[in-house]
């Protein structure tokens, strides 16, 4: 029986760790998580907030995820994106749901959804 999602993994190009830290840690405010030593040698980085984790793994044949994406819950979406200077694409197609999309520094799509 599946009881939840442990993490979502996105790809990034080799050498992108500092840009990932600046975006996921700095802009989005996620906490960087220590990777196990055996996996740290592969590069990439992990981030989390509560039970939500986003893992960035190095892919030498990197292509950004333009459709597939994680959706992160945010308390005050308008305030969050304004306060962090994020370039967003608003989406009002779901009634009663405030949401937008941003791109990470590698072109991966990230959805931000307001908690109501």
Residue 38 in this model has a pLDDT that exceeds 80: yes
Check residues 116 and 69 and name the one with the higher pLDDT: 69
pLDDT category of residue 2 using cuts at 50, 70 and 90 = confident
Strands in 109-114's sheet, in edge-to-edge order, are 71-74, 109-114, 99-103, 89-91
Average pLDDT, the chain: 95
When pLDDT is cut at 50, 70 and 90, the band that residue 68 belongs to is very high
Please, what are the domains in the chain? Answer: 8-114 (3.10.180.10)
Q: Give the C-alpha separation, 53 to 55, whole Å.
A: 6
**CA–CA gap between residue 57 and residue 11 (Å, rounded):** 5
Kindly tell me if the per-residue pLDDT of 115 is higher than 80.
Answer: no
């Amino acid at each position: 029986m599946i009881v939840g999602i442990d993490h979502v993994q996105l790809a990034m190009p080799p050498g992108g760790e500092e840009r990932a830290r600046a975006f996921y840690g700095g802009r989005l405010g996620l906490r960087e998580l220590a990777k196990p030593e055996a996996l740290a040698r592969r590069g990439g980085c992990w981030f989390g907030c509560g039970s939500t984790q986003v893992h960035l793994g190095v892919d030498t044949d990197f292509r950004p995820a333009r459709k597939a994406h994680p959706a992160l819950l945010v308390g005050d979406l308008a305030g969050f994106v304004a306060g962090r200077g994020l370039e967003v694409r608003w989406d009002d197609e779901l009634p009663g749901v405030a949401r937008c999309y941003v791109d990470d520094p590698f072109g991966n799509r990230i959805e931000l959804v307001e908690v109501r």
